[in-house]
Chains A and B, each alone.
Chain A
Amino acid sequence: MNPCSSDLPGTVGEAMPFLCDGALVTAQATLGGAALALVLAFAAGLAMLSPRRLVRVPARVYMEFFRGTSVIVQMFWIFFALPVLTGYRLAPLAAGILALGLNLGAYGAEVVRGGVLAVPRAQREAAIALNFSPYQRMRYVIMPQALAAMLPPLNNLLIELLKATSLVSAISVGDLIFESKALINSGSDRAVVMVLVMVIYLLYAGLITAVMRLLERRMARMLGREVRPLWPRRRRRSAGGELTVAAGGAR
């Protein structure tokens, strides 16, 4: 049966058509934010490893700047304040995705940097001994191994991103939270609505983790490592917003 159908009984039937619309927008914001965040994370993360100060410093500044405030502050600024300077207002969803990508990209940069640093130095030296160019060393030797170390912390980041998409509701993007608030305001049973919202978020979080787990297993197999069982999770955040890089694993 279609879970978005209005034929479902009671409040569920009343709410699900709207929540499904919202869930779709939440998915868009998550995917859009993730795409932008990944690009920025790799650009800034690799730039921070550069021997050149002129490359390192801007990346560092970007990171510190966007990690210094939260998504909600950045989103408000991009949506409400920036148009005053530029005279051009971004569409709400675009502003939301921009803020999400910039913020999570700053955290991702640290993950990328940590992942690359987690690759043993000897691998780089072996690549030099075979006379690979710096680009080839990164592309064919370091990065494939670094990705394996990055996946668990990237999984955490994607969950954080999913959670942060809820903030787009504050700039009137019709995501799950926005729809739930509309339903509550129009008199639907609040408890039922919020339970449904939580279940959808949990489903999304589970989906993200499942996909990342599969990627992890593929990587582990490629690197000839012990393949971890699918179930036990190891999401861990050492601190507010500071996501630890679960580096390496057994070689």
Chain B
Amino acid sequence: MTWDWGRAGEIAPELFTTGLKVTAQATLGAAVLAFLLGLVLALALRAPTRWVRLPVRVLIELIRSTPLLAQLFILYYVLPSALGITMGALTTGIVGLGVHYACYTAEVYRAGIDNVPKGQWEAAVALNLPRLRVWTSVILPQAVRKVLPALGNNLIGIFKESPQLALITVVDVLGLARQLGSEDFRYLEPLTLAGLFFLVVAIPSSILVRRLERRLES
């Protein structure tokens, strides 16, 4: 058997409307969560008391050292029975992916904050700015600018990992491709289209981020 253009043309529209919509929702939802929660975690890592710093540090290491899939299982199978929290598959996926990547994003912010020159802190203190103002109008804008490329890479990472949600029954591009394939056991066309889709989005995005990185460096 070889490639069947007819079959490919037949499934492509559905794959790139219904499936694409779910992949986009998962990616963007998880990214928003990761970028916000990541910032909270990064600030918590700089908290004045180690009763905040230490548990946060441990939590981040824990999440980064274990598979996303295991974490998704906990959210999907354990939380409903243990705590009575039930979420739809897509919501579960967004939370799982978002929290997982928040831990990577926290590192990104932390590095960005550490890289703000010490003189900036001192200048802000000299101006007698309130502590919150120092953060919101001096440190964070500079830190975020520095870490933009890294955030871009994390966004691409979230996008590339989002098909894991198919394993908790989310029907994203990959989930839909698998479903379409199982209809007639012809997996070649749907899975190839799905793979190409991820390539076609991820590779140019990575190139863009690399370009942004170079521009910000110079």
Contact = CB atoms under 8 A, between A and B. Distances in A.
A76 B178 contact: yes
Interface stretch (A1-9, A36-44, A166-174): A166-174
A197 B70 contact: yes
A227 to B, nearest CB: 23
B195 A74 contact: yes
B174 interface: yes
B interface, over-half SS: helix
B70 A240 contact: no
Contacts of B156: 239-241
A87 B2 CA distance: 10
Interface of B: 1-2, 61-62, 64-70, 73-74, 77-78, 81-82, 101, 104, 107-108, 111, 149-161, 163-164, 166-167, 174, 177-178, 181, 186-188, 191-192, 194-195, 198-199, 202-203, 206
A interface, over-half SS: helix
Interface in A128-161: 159
B152 to A, nearest CB: 8
Chain A to chain B: the 6 pairs with minimum beta-carbon distance, closest first: A240-B157, A239-B153, A166-B67, A80-B187, A84-B188, A205-B65
Contact of A190 (B69, B78, B153, B164): B78
Contacts of B2: 85
Nearest to B166: A72
Given A238-B108, A239-B150, A194 B70 contact: yes
A73 B64 contact: no
B181 to A, nearest CB: 6
11 contacts: A68-B202, A70-B164, A76-B187, A80-B191, A85-B1, A177-B69, A198-B74, A201-B67, A237-B104, A240-B158, A240-B159
Contacts of A197: 70, 73
A184 interface: yes
A172 to B, nearest CB: 12
Contact of A65 (B1, B151, B174, B199): B199
A240 B65 contact: no
A205 B149 CA distance: 28
A194 B74 CA distance: 7
